[in-house]
Amino acid sequence: YISPDGTKLFFAGNVGDDINEYTLSTPFDVSTGVFVDSFSVAAQDTAIRGVAFNTDGSKMFVSGTQNSKVYEYALSTNFDVSTATYTQMMAPASPYGLHFSPDGTHMYFISTTNVYEFALSTGFDLSTTSYVRSFSVASQESIPIAVTFNPTGTKMFVSGASGGDVN
């Protein structure tokens, strides 16, 4: 995940069960990244797969496959993982990559060979989710790991481990 202004980079560290935070001195240029901090999520899940934030960085969301849940954390300092506190979770089926619409009223994640969509009646609040639909990507990718959309939501992108490409 890259913050909207391009100055923060975050990724889920499956081996360390943590979220790693980097500062980018040149926005959106990962070659300028400097490690800042990490935050362990092992108390909730030891097989984390994805990370996402709400627009202002006051909430962080982590997907994990050990317990098949998406976890929500409050950040007292926006986009600073060292200030994260676990708040709640929801239990979809084995969530991998995780993505929210800009207003937080739709959440998408990859599981097995499907992209799942959930509606959130209150943006970025996991307690308000309801299942909408799923879409199979099996004919393009047998091991999908990440999903994202273009800014207008008119194009979906899925990457995976078996195809070595982005669909």
Radius of gyration of the chain (CA): 15
Whether 160 has a pLDDT exceeding 90, the answer reads: no
- What pLDDT is attached to residue 97? 85
- What pLDDT is attached to residue 37? 94
26 band by pLDDT with thresholds 50, 70 and 90 = very high
Beta-carbon count within 10 A of 118 CB: 20
Beta partners for 100?
107
Whether 88 has a pLDDT exceeding 90, the answer reads: yes
Q: For residues 63-83, give the mean pLDDT.
A: 94
- Tell me how far apart the alpha carbons of residues 38 and 12 are, in angstroms, rounded to a whole number: 10
Closest by CA position to 62, among listed 149, 126, 127: 126
Q: Is 59 left (phi over 0), alpha (psi -120 to 50) or beta?
A: beta
- What pLDDT is attached to residue 13? 85
- What pLDDT is attached to residue 32? 97
- Tell me how far apart the alpha carbons of residues 117 and 107 are, in angstroms, rounded to a whole number: 6
Beta-carbon count within 10 A of 69 CB: 21
- What pLDDT is attached to residue 107? 95
Interval 89-147: pLDDT, tens: 998 877 888 999 999 999 999 888 899 999 999 999 999 999 999 999 999 988 888 89
Angle at 26 between CA 25 and CA 32, to 5 degrees: 65
- Tell me how far apart the alpha carbons of residues 85 and 138 are, in angstroms, rounded to a whole number: 36
Whether 162 has a pLDDT exceeding 90, the answer reads: no
- Tell me how far apart the alpha carbons of residues 48 and 157 are, in angstroms, rounded to a whole number: 21
Whether 156 has a pLDDT exceeding 80, the answer reads: yes
Give the chain's mean pLDDT: 93
- What pLDDT is attached to residue 31? 96
Q: For residues 154-165, give the mean pLDDT.
A: 88
